[in-house]
Structure 1
Amino acid sequence: MIINTPAIVLKSIAYGETSIISRCFSMKSGKISLIVKGAKSKKRSKVSYFQPLSYIDIMYNKKRNTNLYLVSNVSFIESWQNIFNNIRLLSLSMTILEITEKSIIDEDPHPELFQILKNVLKAYNNNPNNPNLLFWFYECALLTHLGFKPSLEKGYLPGVKLPDPYGGPKSGMILEGLIEKKIDQFLEIKISKQDNKIVSNYLWILLCHHFEGMHKIKSIEITKQLLKKNFF
């Protein structure tokens, strides 16, 4: 079966001398693994299409008895090159990709979550005033769409101590807005260091509790430092 779908590249690795294997989050099929034969050939290089953060339209042949699909056609839908000019935005974006790769299972479509990921990365490309809010918004969306919508009334999880979500001047209000997808009202407000710490820790603890391997994310320590900073 031939599948044609928008996709966001999560990561890619070399395969042999000229090919690559790419992990993508696609709108129609969820997370998929693709083999791109001859991607590194000098005449028809396709490496640029399969760099992390690439937003592409792909066509691939889905066959039974395999979870590695051959790409037959690829093109860019949109470029988010501005992200690469800002180390803070790049670090946050790459962590979002890693979180996505670790949490969603293969071929489990989440078209609405895909749209949210696309919109968050597109917003990062436009250099938002407070990138922390977008990062937290995506964490909340991912938890919600995968069946673990945060509940601020629950102060504990088995074996886990959560920070008080209302322990900062505006932390509870911010979390409530993020969970209900109402972040516009917070885009221009000043967020204190205490709010940053509480919101960041609260959401990260939830992710680590519900999904295995989150502590192995390479970029998370840098991201934690970035999330502590104020942007106003």
Structure 2
Amino acid sequence: MIVKSKGIVLSYMKYGDTSIIARIFTEDQGYGSYIVNSIRSQKSKKSIGYFQPFTMLDLVLYVKETRDLQRISEFKSHHPLHHIHQDLIKSTITLFLTEVFSKLLQSEQSPNPELYNFAEESIKTFDGLKTRVENFHLQFLLKVGPFLGYAIDDIDNLFSSTDKLAPSHENHGVMDLLMKEPYGYEIKMAREDRASMLDTILEYYEHHAHISKPKSLEVLRSVLN
């Protein structure tokens, strides 16, 4: 059947001589893999740039329930991004988040419109932030939990599932701010504390969602440092 849906690109890999397989989180179908034919061909009328991480697209999909790999018939930009792919810090955070988000979405192969709306609005906000972007990945991973069924709504629950010691009173307050305040809110913390908090969040998801440590973690740390 033919399905029209919005979608958020997470990654892609080359397929054959001219095509790609894109991993996309769609509003109507959930998370899935899609073939995009001839996008790498010299004769292609559209750029592979449409499939950069976090790009938001309007899609026409060919969907067969008996097939794991679906096809994209048509696509166009849904909401252009102006800064995420041009700014080194933002692009590195994006690379890291799309890797972790893809791992968390493995079980989301059915529609989850609330999660989709959260992700779309978060990306739009991130693209527009001019300052205070260094905490975005922490806030995103804390805020996305409830949409995936992981109740990271209490700091003590977060630490009780990891090998980390309970945070100091000061860092407890910082984590609470990261959870509750909007993106871009000024939350001051030392570089070492930011790295430690990210380790705690990742350990939580490793324990509950059984995801592996992201390969892009060291790249993220190198750029933020």
- Partners of 2:183 and 2:27 in 1: CA distance: 29
The list of structure 1 runs, each at least 4 consecutive aligned residues, that deviate by more than 3 angstroms after superposition, is 192-195, 224-227
Structure 1 residues 132 and 111: CA distance shift in structure 2, 3 A? farther
Equivalent AA in structure 1 for residue 155 of structure 2: L
Counterpart of 2:186?
A: 188
Runs of 5+ unmatched residues, structure 1: none
Provide the residue aligned with 1:24 in structure 2.
24
Cα RMSD after superposing both structures: 2.3
Match of 1:156 among 153, 160, 165: 160
197, 200, 212: which is aligned to 1:199?
197
Matched ranges for 1:24-103 at <5 A: 24-46=24-46, 47-103=48-104
Deviation of residue 185 (structure 1)?
9.3
* Contact 1:8 1:25 survives alignment (8 Å): yes
Residue-by-residue CA offset, 1:46-96 (whole Å, 9 max, x unaligned): 423223222111011111310211211100112224122221111111111
* Residue identity opposite 1:222 in structure 2: V
Number of equivalences: 221
Aligned counterpart, 1:133: 135
CA contact 1:164–1:198 (8 Å) conserved in 2: no
2 CA distance for matches of 1:187 and 1:49? 30
Between 187-196 and 83-92, report the one with greater CA deviation: 187-196
Residues of 2 paired with 1:197 and 1:133: CA distance?
10
Change (3 A) 1:177 1:189: closer
The alpha-carbon deviation at position 172 of structure 1 amounts to: 1.6
Counterpart amino acid of 2:121?
N
* Structure 2 residues without counterparts, runs of 5 or longer: none
- Aligned-pair identity (%): 23
* Conservation of the 8 A alpha-carbon contact between 2:57 and 2:79: yes
How has the CA–CA distance of structure 1 residues 198 and 186 changed in structure 2, closer, same or farther, with 3 Å as cutoff? farther
Structure 1 pair 17/194, CA: closer, same or farther in 2 (3 Å)? closer
Report SS of the residue matched to 1:33.
strand
Normalising by structure 2, we get a TM-score of: 0.86
Could you tell me the TM-score, scaled by structure 1's length?
Answer: 0.84
